[in-house]
């Protein structure tokens, strides 16, 4: 917020720009920078674990901080003309936030790169992650690696087994949750929609330099099939059990992983919740398989059991030790939001037949801001035909303390846009 300048003053006498709050120097850019440098110095003795020559850029005009951590005693050096193994460009406040446990390194290191390519760590990525981990109060340990023969969840119709699997492994697989004809209806609706979005020039693609994958966002707007789909009883069987009765759909999307994709980077689905919370799962993702899903066609890769404890992979781009959550069409993968996972590489060769379409109904506890802002994106003609159940899922129902309109938050009120909200009533 501090980076965003105040808006224009509308009221004579209410220009706050000269009001003094505390000692301005404390939050000045220079102080933030100095604190970052002091933190790096304090943690220097731990850095020999990096076994690398690392350069940290804390902003334009600031001297590059070079750490030679190739020998037992890590020390600051002058890089000269040497090329570092890893180069990190990062805001100095993130260094303090790592140090204070307010920001998870795997989020902090990569979040700006989304908008600003130059802030992507360069060179050896695990070194960059390890560096940031070493600044935190409790550096995580890597997840247990899957090896052939280990027991992992298998598709089952026994919902109690699915729940036990979610508790033990962070995910479970529900067999035969959809009939073959239901799969056909949903897959063909999704295929048509995906093709329509391409034709209309509004398709969302990702999955590497050629971006073969396609996301279809806000499915609630995109056909009766997807409105009906929210009636599925599997949701009643697992969502309230895991998240409480007020859980909301944080997003309702499809992901079509296509041949030739680059796998997604490993992540948890509660990455946007900072400070990082490993003690509580905030979300539950119900992912519907609209085709047979296997390792070969981009099946979601998971580290089984990685939902528990202060666990995080050393390299977000290395899928070694993960396993694909394989199951036939009509199954559902139900996984909790602390599980480390990623869309796998689709190694099929034929586009279309080799596609891996899945629908994700991602629920979160009701007090977490929804990923999709349904209040702005829901088409009005869809809103009029939604059942109370669907409205609740989308967030159009008060939960007892949250979600009210003009202050009315008693539990169980279905809300809608007020035509004429109360405004100034003054002489």
Ligand X SMILES: O=C(O)CCC(=O)C(=O)O
Task: Phi first, then psi: give them for residue 79, nearest 5 degrees.
Answer: -70, -30
Residues binding Fe ion: number (CB under 5 A): 1
Kindly state the smallest distance separating residue 269's Cβ from Fe ion, in Å.
Answer: 5
Kindly state the smallest distance separating residue 160's Cβ from ligand X, in Å.
Answer: 25
User: Of 182 and 255, which CB lies nearer to ligand X in the complex structure?
Assistant: 255
Q: Are 356 and 298 in contact (CB under 8 A)?
A: yes
Kindly state the smallest distance separating residue 360's Cβ from ligand X, in Å.
Answer: 6
- Cα separation, 60 vs 64, in Å, equals 9
User: Of 269 and 383, which CB lies nearer to Fe ion in the complex structure?
Assistant: 269
User: Of 255 and 398, which CB lies nearer to Fe ion in the complex structure?
Assistant: 255
Asked if 269 interacts with Fe ion (CB under 5 A), we say: yes
Which residues ranging from 101 to 140 are in contact with Fe ion (CB under 5 A)?
Answer: none
Write the CB contacts of 9 (distance below 8 Å, at least 6 apart in sequence). Answer: 15, 16
How far is CA 310 from each of CA 202, 205, 284, rounded to the nearest angstrom?
A: 39, 32, 19
How far is CA 326 from each of CA 189, 253, 415, rounded to the nearest angstrom?
A: 23, 20, 40
Burial of 136 (0-12, 13-18, 19+ CB in 10 A): buried
The pair of structure tokens assigned to 235 is: 């949701």
Q: If contact means CB under 5 to 8 A according to the sort of partner, which of Fe ion, ligand X, none does residue 343 touch?
A: ligand X
Kindly state the smallest distance separating residue 359's Cβ from ligand X, in Å.
Answer: 10
Whose tokens are 């119900």? That residue is 286
User: Of 68 and 269, which CB lies nearer to Fe ion in the complex structure?
Assistant: 269
User: Of 283 and 305, which CB lies nearer to ligand X in the complex structure?
Assistant: 283
Stretch of 164-172, 208-216, 269-277, 370-378 lying at the interface with Fe ion (CB under 5 A):
269-277
Q: Are 394 and 374 in contact (CB under 8 A)?
A: yes
Chain positions contacting ligand X, by CB under 6 A: 255, 257, 264, 269, 300, 341, 343
User: Of 66 and 364, which CB lies nearer to ligand X in the complex structure?
Assistant: 364
- Cα separation, 13 vs 43, in Å, equals 48
Stretch of 101-109, 207-215, 268-276, 325-333 lying at the interface with Fe ion (CB under 5 A):
268-276
Kindly state the smallest distance separating residue 341's Cβ from Fe ion, in Å.
Answer: 6
In the complex, which residues of this chain contact Fe ion (CB under 5 A)?
269
């Amino acid at each position: 917020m501090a980076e965003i300048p105040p808006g224009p003053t509308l009221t004579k006498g209410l220009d706050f720009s000269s009001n003094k709050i505390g000692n301005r120097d404390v939050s000045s850019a220079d102080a933030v920078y100095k604190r970052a440098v002091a933190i790096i110095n304090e943690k220097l003795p731990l850095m020999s674990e990096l076994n690398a020559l690392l350069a940290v850029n804390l902003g334009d005009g600031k001297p590059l901080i070079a750490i030679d951590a190739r020998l037992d005693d890590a020390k600051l050096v002058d890089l000269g003309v040497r090329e570092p193994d890893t180069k990190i460009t990062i805001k100095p406040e993130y260094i303090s936030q790592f140090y204070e446990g307010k920001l998870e390194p795997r989020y902090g290191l990569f979040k700006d790169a989304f908008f600003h390519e130059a802030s992507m760590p360069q060179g050896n990525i695990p070194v960059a992650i390890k560096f940031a981990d070493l600044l935190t109060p409790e550096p995580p340990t890597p997840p247990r690696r899957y090896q052939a023969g280990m027991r992992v969840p298998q598709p089952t119709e026994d919902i109690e087994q699915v729940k036990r699997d979610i508790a033990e492994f962070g995910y479970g697989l529900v067999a035969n949750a959809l009939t073959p004809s239901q799969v056909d209806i949903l897959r063909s609706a999704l295929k048509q929609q995906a093709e329509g979005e391409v034709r209309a020039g509004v398709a969302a693609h990702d999955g590497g330099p050629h971006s073969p994958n396609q996301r279809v966002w806000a499915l609630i707007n995109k056909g009766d099939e997807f409105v009906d789909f929210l009636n599925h009883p599997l949701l009643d069987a697992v969502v309230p059990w895991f998240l409480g009765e007020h859980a909301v759909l944080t997003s309702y999307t499809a992901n079509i992983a296509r041949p030739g994709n680059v796998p997604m980077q490993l992540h948890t689905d509660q990455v946007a919740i900072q400070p990082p919370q490993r003690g509580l799962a905030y979300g539950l993702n119900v992912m519907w398989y609209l085709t047979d899903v296997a390792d070969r066609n981009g099946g979601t890769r998971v580290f089984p059991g990685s939902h528990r404890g202060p666990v995080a992979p050393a390299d977000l781009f290395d899928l070694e030790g993960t396993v694909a959550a394989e199951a036939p069409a009509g199954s559902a993968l139900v996984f909790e939001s602390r599980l480390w996972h990623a869309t796998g590489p689709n190694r099929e060769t034929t586009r279309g037949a080799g596609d891996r379409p899945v629908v994700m109904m991602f629920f979160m506890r009701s007090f977490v801001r929804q990923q999709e802002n349904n209040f702005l994106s829901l088409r009005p003609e869809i809103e009029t035909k939604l059942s109370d159940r669907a409205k609740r899922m989308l967030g159009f129902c008060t939960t007892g303390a949250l979600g009210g309109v003009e202050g009315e938050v008693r539990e169980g009120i279905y809300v809608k846009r007020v035509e004429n909200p109360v405004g100034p009533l003054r002489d």
